[in-house]
Amino acid sequence: MYVRFTGFIHVADSAPALEAFQSDPNFRPGLRQLIDLTEVTGFDKDYLALLKVHAKKADVFRPTEVETLTVYIAPGEDALKLSRLILKSWDGVEGMVHRVVRDEAEALHILGLPQDTVARFIDEEA
């Protein structure tokens, strides 16, 4: 799964996307995730909203026999701060493996994908 955030992020906007993802026929436990924060310019500091969204995520990704790998591309300072906040919200949730990198080629490598850019990955998946 590939998710790209752009501009100023409002945490509460994640809830509808999570619901759509959960109801997608391709959803399954252990689905690897690439979260691209490259174009993030800032985010609201609504910690309560973040905890609510991640409580829903914890239910969606409840522990299974298969770990879920999520890799965040966070090259800028705002993206890095946001990824740290997201990771804190996952504390104590079993079965989730998170990696934060600053480079898209490294993110794709961690996920075991042969492409060296996100653009190539998207083109080949389309």
pLDDT in tens, 7-65: 998 877 777 777 777 788 888 878 888 999 999 999 988 778 777 777 777 666 666 67
- 11 in a domain, yes or no? yes
pLDDT in tens, 53-104: 777 776 666 666 778 899 999 999 999 998 998 888 777 778 889 999 999 9
Q: Which residues pair with 113 in a beta bridge?
A: none
Alpha-carbon torsion angle 84, 85, 86, 88, nearest 10 = 90
- 93 in a domain, yes or no? yes
- 25 in a domain, yes or no? no
Domain that holds residue 74: 2-17+30-125
Residues 71, 31: Cα–Cα separation, whole Å = 12
Residues 97, 64: Cα–Cα separation, whole Å = 13
Residues 13, 18, 108, 90: is their CA dihedral positive or negative?
positive
- 111 in a domain, yes or no? yes
- 96 in a domain, yes or no? yes
Report the domain count for the chain: 1
- 24 in a domain, yes or no? no
Question: Hey, which bits of 10-118 come out as E strands?
Answer: 33-43, 68-73, 96-101
